[in-house]
Amino acid sequence: MGLVHGEEMVLNIGPQHPATHGVLRLQVKTDGEVVSQITPYMGYLHRCFEKHCENVTYEQVIPYTDRCDYLSSMSMNFGYVVAMERLMEIKVNERVEHIRVVMAELQRIASHLLCTGVFGLDLGAFTPFLWALRDRERILDLFEMTCGARLLYNYMWIGGLSHDIPTGFIESTLKFLDEFEPNIDELENILAHNKILVERSADIGIMPKDIAISYGVTGPNLRASGVNWDLRKNDPYSIYDRFEFDIPIGQGMKGTVGDCWDRFYVRIQEMRESVKIIRQAISKMPKDGDVHQNLPKKIRPPKGSIYARTETPRGDLGYYIESDGSAIPYRLKMRSPAFTALSVMDEIAAGWLLSDVLAILGSLDIVLGEIDR
Amino acid sequence: MGLLTNKFAEDNVIVAKLEKLLNWSRSTSPWFFQFGTACCAIEMMAAAAPRHDIKRIGFIPRSSPRQADVMIVAGTVTMKMAIRVKKLYEQMADPKYVVAMGSCATSGGPYWQHGYHVLKGVDIVIPVDVYVPGCPPRPESLIEGLLKLEEQILEERPLTRKMA
Amino acid sequence: MSQEQEILIAKLVNKGLDGDMDSVNACEDRIVRGKAKAMIMKVKKGTVERPPVPVSPGEESSSKVPDSLSKDDMIALLVNKGLDGDMDSVNACDDRIVRGKAKAMIVKVKKGTAERPEMPLEITESTEDNSQNDIKVEKVQDPFQEIKKMIEEKFPDDIDEGSEDKYIYFKPDNWLNIAKWLFSDTSLLFNSLQCQMGIDMGEDILESRYNLHSMKHDHYLEVRIRVPRSNAKIPSVEQVWRIADWFERETYDMLGIEYSGHRDLRRILLPSDWEGWPLRKDYQEPETYHGIVVPKMKEGWD
């Protein structure tokens, strides 16, 4: 952007591009290599989730919520089940609560592993992607041991769970955690402190605090901008207030607070905190208890509405459920965290080079299934 | 080469049908065009990951349709995307094959009943060779589907003049 | 710390140590809740002794059930308490059979298949005394009522009918000014729009609902605006909360509510040449779209 001004060129990135973010189209207006405006176009994966929810019963909604954010389907189920249990005033027993926390935190580790691997892949580092996928496969083995599915589980039901954890699950999980903790350090050393990655992501795509809050950005993206806000601590649901864990906040170690490197590093630190939570939850888990004990015979919530939020790996997920007293929801709206994260793209990516746009998109960690629903 | 080493005492000439030779060379390394839209795309990535590794059977992922032989349609195709799918299929060079992975690409999947924006099966817009059912199909199912595609390629007859 | 707050904290700490964290979390006052939780942590660690259960005549006996009743009378008492809204005492009953029968009867009375039983005579006098104390405690801890009072003082004309305990209905005309005031007033400071959605309530009414949250004061508010289907126009608040830009586009896409003042109101999820508003209750799927058949052809099976 100097003395020579050329014509503005309009480029399309997508809707099919080799990164795993899905089908998204970014219309980029560039002046040479420098980007002046980005407009995201979505809707290529709009699968009419909300219309389906108005036509099936409350239990049948759970598999549809799985498929919205397919990288963290346990968290999607968890959010819906927390909202429904608040609406119907059902209290589940202690064993169910502890198992839910273990599953949600394992899912958080799996999702962050994929996100960090793909961030490296977008910037050209292929090996850490394979290491991340290798560890993720071990977590998917644990899930498969419990409920039989690798990716879309339909595990958390309203009032309980679909299957109890089998014998050998706790030993396998503890063994996995023992072998996984040094792998986080290895991944951090090869990626986070790597000179090329630092050059390509530090000081780029800075998101200031007030823009983040006004655009509704939540989760690791907001914490990387310096705001200490985590729903597990500030507005606890389930039994998260019994565990001790820290909230990693972006500090601008390699550049400014709120740049791509901070968003990436906060996720690596969150994996360590999740390991802590899983260990505490396993040690406090009651040995007996029936996971099908509090399942209601008929799910007919009272007339009314509720809005409940939970913390998924991408931010805070909200479900607004309006019920008219029958067995089928009247209206269900899912407020997805990736939708708000994508909306801030124009603000933070304008003015950078074209190759930085992909780094910024990768650091926001979006999943198109959740945005388009 | 493994089958033929140290088998013959003198120099020799091998006689085979040309079609069989062409089919054999084409079927063992079809490069696939990774067209992943939704959840099945993650299982396709997991199939290329170290545990299930489809690169060892010859399938290498390519990002551009011009360089690919097989298009694996993994995930739900919507009306907005259907037009682009057709364009991508037309950009691939002959001979080309399509694998419909997952129940959404086969017939609309769990969204068949009230999904106004979902294409009920990708075979409405492009011709499909192999259907791999599942929601999502395990990487092992995908590998079986791809090996079936290889068997199909082995039985083709590209050189014979076709009647009508 | 007032006397009432100290008593409440002691009560919540005892409940929490007995395993019932829900009543601690349900407490509206943030300071009391925070202090109760801190004290629970300290007691668990062992640095502080467990406080004695406070004996204040009003609140204590209203949630306990005296043991000197017969089983039928106990069930009748619990059913009456449950129908009046106090499910805590029903859940607190130790006898599983009595609890189960009481809950089943509550469901039947609500459905209308059984009559509400009479309250056993011994208890009626003391519950009358306790009810006044309960109301007094609730009023102090309910931030929604205070917010509602402030809104009523500032914008009395704009409140529409139907405002209940958790949400407020506004008229659409002055909504932008109200939103600016909600965002900037120092005691409210609603700086985060959590969720905005549209809903088709039937009978020719469309609603647009906003869930607001203040990160500094940690209070919530739900705002609803009602418009008729024939004239569905609401002022846009995208200048106040920037995320309203995309939320409103999505509501326009799905339901057809127009937001006046929005700088770029067009479809966001569906293609721009799609016809109809899908989430309306009377939506009919189109037969074809660009030559592609939309509904699934299912000859032979339903």
CA-CA distance, C225 to A9, in Å (whole number)?
42
Q: pLDDT (tens digit, 9 = 90+) per residue, B109-125?
A: 899 888 889 988 898 89
Question: pLDDT band at C298, cuts 50/70/90?
Answer: low
- What is the reported pLDDT for A291? 86
Compute the nearest-CA separation of C63 from chain A (Å).
Answer: 18
Residues 241-280 of C with CB under 8 A from B: 270-271, 278
Nearest-by-Cβ selection for C269 from A42, A239, A241: A42
- What is the reported pLDDT for B151? 92
B vs C: CB pairs below 8 A: 27
Q: Which residue of B has its CA nearest to A23?
A: B37
Q: Is C209 an interface residue toward A (CB < 8 Å)?
A: yes
List chain A residues with CB under 8 Å of B110. Answer: 63-64, 67
A vs B: CB pairs below 8 A: 93
Q: Is A23 an interface residue toward C (CB < 8 Å)?
A: no
Q: Is B113 an interface residue toward A (CB < 8 Å)?
A: yes
Residues 20-79 of A with CB under 8 A from B: 20, 22-23, 43-48, 51-52, 55, 63-64, 67, 70-71
Q: From residue C191, how far is each of A263, C20, C248, C262 by CA, in Å?
A: 23, 33, 17, 20
More confident site: B71 or A19: B71
Alpha helices (runs of H) in chain C, residue ranges in sequence order: 3-17, 21-25, 30-45, 57-63, 71-83, 87-92, 96-111, 121-140, 143-154, 175-184, 244-255
Q: Tell if the CB–CB gap between B38 and A51 is shorter than 8 Å.
A: no
Q: pTM score, two decimals? A: 0.79
Q: pLDDT (tens digit, 9 = 90+) per residue, B45-95?
A: 899 888 888 999 889 988 888 999 999 999 999 988 888 899 999 999 988
Output the six-digit token pair for C131.
């009810």
Q: What is the mean pLDDT of residues C280-298?
A: 80
Mean pLDDT of chain A: 90
Question: pLDDT band at A3, cuts 50/70/90?
Answer: low
- What is the reported pLDDT for C121? 53
- Bridge partners (DSSP) of residue C192 are C213
Q: What is the mean pLDDT of residues A298-308?
A: 90
pLDDT > 90: percent of chain C: 8
Reduce the DSSP state of residue A288 to 3 states and report it: coil
Residue C302 pLDDT > 70: no
Phi, psi of C182 (to 5 degrees): -60, -35
Q: Tell if the CB–CB gap between C294 and B116 is shorter than 8 Å.
A: yes
Query: For the structural domain made of A59-335, what CATH number should be given?
Result: 1.10.645.10
Say which range, A54-63, B127-136, C73-82, C219-228, has the weakest mean pLDDT. C73-82
Q: Tell if the CB–CB gap between C296 and B108 is shorter than 8 Å.
A: yes
Q: Tell if the CB–CB gap between A339 and C22 is shorter than 8 Å.
A: no
- What is the reported pLDDT for C61? 41
Q: Tell if the CB–CB gap between C192 and A239 is shorter than 8 Å.
A: no
Q: What one-character DSSP code corresponds to residue B161?
A: P
Q: pLDDT (tens digit, 9 = 90+) per residue, C124-147?
A: 433 444 433 333 333 345 677 778
Mean pLDDT of chain C: 75
Question: pLDDT band at A139, cuts 50/70/90?
Answer: very high
Q: Is B35 an interface residue toward A (CB < 8 Å)?
A: yes
Q: Tell if the CB–CB gap between A214 and C87 is shorter than 8 Å.
A: no
Q: Is C182 an interface residue toward A (CB < 8 Å)?
A: no
Sheet-wide strand order for C167-170: C167-170, C220-228, C205-213, C192-202
Tell me the helices (H) and strands (E) count for chain C, helix number first: 11, 8
List chain B residues with CB under 8 Å of A46. Answer: 78, 80, 117
* Chain B contact residues (CB < 8 Å to C): 79-80, 82-83, 107-108, 112-113, 116-117, 119-120, 124-125
Q: Which residue of C has its CA nearest to B119?
A: C294
CA-CA distance, C194 to A168, in Å (whole number)?
41
Residue B97 pLDDT > 80: yes
- What is the reported pLDDT for C201? 87
Q: Tell if the CB–CB gap between B39 and A43 is shorter than 8 Å.
A: no
- What is the reported pLDDT for B128? 94
Question: pLDDT band at C116, cuts 50/70/90?
Answer: low
Can you give the three-state secondary structure of C104-125, one letter per residue?
HHHHHHHHCCCCCCCCCHHHHH
Residue B35 pLDDT > 90: no
A250 in Cβ contact with A202 (< 8 Å): no
List chain C residues with CB under 8 Å of A330. Answer: 199
A vs C: CB pairs below 8 A: 76
- What is the reported pLDDT for C20? 67
Q: What is the mean pLDDT of residues A159-186?
A: 92
Q: Tell if the CB–CB gap between C270 and B80 is shorter than 8 Å.
A: yes
Residue A329 pLDDT > 90: yes
Query: For the structural domain made of B31-154, what CATH number should be given?
Result: 3.40.50.12280
Composition of chain B by helix, strand, coil, percent to 5:
40, 15, 45
Q: pLDDT (tens digit, 9 = 90+) per residue, A204-225?
A: 889 999 899 989 899 999 999 9
Q: Where are the domains of chain B?
A: 31-154
Q: Which among A31-40, C8-17, C130-139 has the top mean pLDDT?
A: A31-40
Which of C250, C294, C297, C301 to substitute to test the interface with B, most B CBs within 10 Å? C294
A350 in Cβ contact with A35 (< 8 Å): yes
Compute the nearest-CA separation of C197 from chain A (Å).
Answer: 7
Residue A337 pLDDT > 90: yes
Cis peptide before A15 (omega within 30 of 0): yes
Q: Which residue of A has its CA nearest to C41?
A: A242
Residue C62 pLDDT > 50: no
Q: Which residue of A has its CA nearest to B37?
A: A22
Q: What is the mean pLDDT of residues A33-39?
A: 89
Q: Which among B38-47, C47-56, C120-129 has the top mean pLDDT?
A: B38-47
Q: pLDDT (tens digit, 9 = 90+) per residue, C249-285?
A: 999 999 999 999 888 888 999 998 888 889 888 888 8
- What is the reported pLDDT for C166? 77
Q: Where are the domains of chain A?
A: 59-335
Question: pLDDT band at A104, cuts 50/70/90?
Answer: very high
Composition of chain C by helix, strand, coil, percent to 5:
45, 15, 40
Q: What is the mean pLDDT of residues C194-203?
A: 89
- What is the reported pLDDT for A56? 92
B125 in Cβ contact with B99 (< 8 Å): no
Reduce the DSSP state of residue A236 to 3 states and report it: coil
Compute the nearest-CA separation of C150 from chain B (Å).
Answer: 45
Residue C119 pLDDT > 80: no
Residue A282 pLDDT > 90: yes
More confident site: A282 or C3: A282
Compute the nearest-CA separation of B154 from chain A (Å).
Answer: 30
Q: From residue A139, how far is each of A103, A174, C21 by CA, in Å?
A: 10, 12, 31
The dihedral of CA C30, C33, C38, C41: what is its sign? negative
Residue A349 pLDDT > 70: yes
- What is the reported pLDDT for C23? 72
- What is the reported pLDDT for C162? 64
Residue A233 pLDDT > 80: yes
Helical packing angle, C96-111 and C71-83, nearest 10°: 50
More confident site: C19 or B113: B113
Parallel, antiparallel, or unpaired for β C233-235 and C258-260?
parallel
Question: pLDDT band at A177, cuts 50/70/90?
Answer: very high
